[in-house]
Amino acid sequence: DGGITQSPKYLFRKEGQNVTLSCEQNLNHDAMYWYRQDPGQGLRLIYYSQIVNDFQKGDIAEGYSVSREKKESFPLTVTSAQKNPTAFYLCASRQQGTDTEAFFGQGTRLTVV
Amino acid sequence: AQSVTQLDSQVPVFEEAPVELRCNYSSSVSVYLFWYVQYPNQGLQLLLKYLSGSTLVESINGFEAEFNKSQTSFHLRKPSVHISDTAEYFCAVSDIYNQGGKLIFGQGTELSVKP
């Protein structure tokens, strides 16, 4: 089945540690996105990539980094510079062009203690 | 910059009652519009979308939304809700001129259907 896989589903880390969230898609989509979800704030765009080896900052990129070395993979690293990293993180992909919907993974809930 | 406003953060309603979830977007340029649904601790699923043509679009589970360009709105409606419709609903917009292909979301509306 085609889809997007995020792993792990739950992740716990100590404050000050970097952590990488995985996102893999086999939909052959060009564009991939990372969103952060907090209660009452909807989905906020962290980074997006429209093509391999290229990506752009979203609205809340500070404290995060990404890479896009392969079309099917778009990992997100939450660095120690992110002041409040505890949140639900969603990865999405979309075929290039604006008239298509995005497909979402099941999310990773990150808790920093 | 494009933005989306969902006017109600929570909507409680009794089963079999009608419901409307409101969504307004900021831009006057042509857009594509989407409604997504999210069940607890899951990702988002597309409910329906407006690309062009008829301003009234329908989903397979009884929801419908109407695109109103003059009011820059895309409200979601269902004439009779079920307990299983309890979820969070997100409105999203994409600029047809492809602002980097970004998909901008509203803050979400939590629909709670009570028996």
At residue B103, the pLDDT reads 85
CB A42 within 8 A of CB A28: no
Cα–Cα dist A100/B2, whole Å: 18
Q: Which residue has the higher pLDDT, B2 or A43?
A: A43
Taking CB atoms and an 8 Å limit, are A98 and B94 in contact across chains?
yes
At residue B3, the pLDDT reads 87
Q: What is the rounded average pLDDT of the residues A77-89?
A: 92
Place of tokens 């043509």: B53
Residue A63 C-alpha, separation from nearest chain B C-alpha, in angstroms: 20
Q: What is the rounded average pLDDT of the residues A57-70?
A: 96
Q: What is the rounded average pLDDT of the residues A7-32?
A: 93
Q: Which residue has the higher pLDDT, A77 or A41?
A: A77
Residue A107 C-alpha, separation from nearest chain B C-alpha, in angstroms: 6
- Using a CB-CB cut-off of 8 Å, the residues of chain A touching B102 are 45, 48, 58
- Using a CB-CB cut-off of 8 Å, the residues of chain B touching A101 are 34, 46, 49
At residue A39, the pLDDT reads 84
Among B41, B43, B90, whose Cβ lies nearest the Cβ of A42?
B90
At residue B42, the pLDDT reads 87
Q: What are residue B85's phi and psi, to 5 degrees?
A: -80, -5
CATH number at B3-114:
2.60.40.10
* Other CB atoms within 10 Å distance of the CB of residue A72: 17
Per-residue pLDDT of chain B (115 residues; tens, 9 = 90+): 778 999 999 999 999 999 999 999 987 677 889 999 999 888 899 999 988 888 888 888 899 999 998 899 999 999 999 999 999 999 999 877 765 578 889 999 999 999 9
Q: Which residue has the higher pLDDT, B51 or A23?
A: A23
* pLDDT tier for residue A106 given thresholds of 50, 70 and 90: very high
- Using a CB-CB cut-off of 8 Å, the residues of chain A touching B6 are 42
The percentage of chain A sitting over the pLDDT mark of 70, rounded to a whole number, equals 96
- Using a CB-CB cut-off of 8 Å, the residues of chain A touching B51 are 99
Q: With an 8 Å Cβ cutoff, is B53 touching chain A?
A: no
Cα–Cα dist A50/B97, whole Å: 15
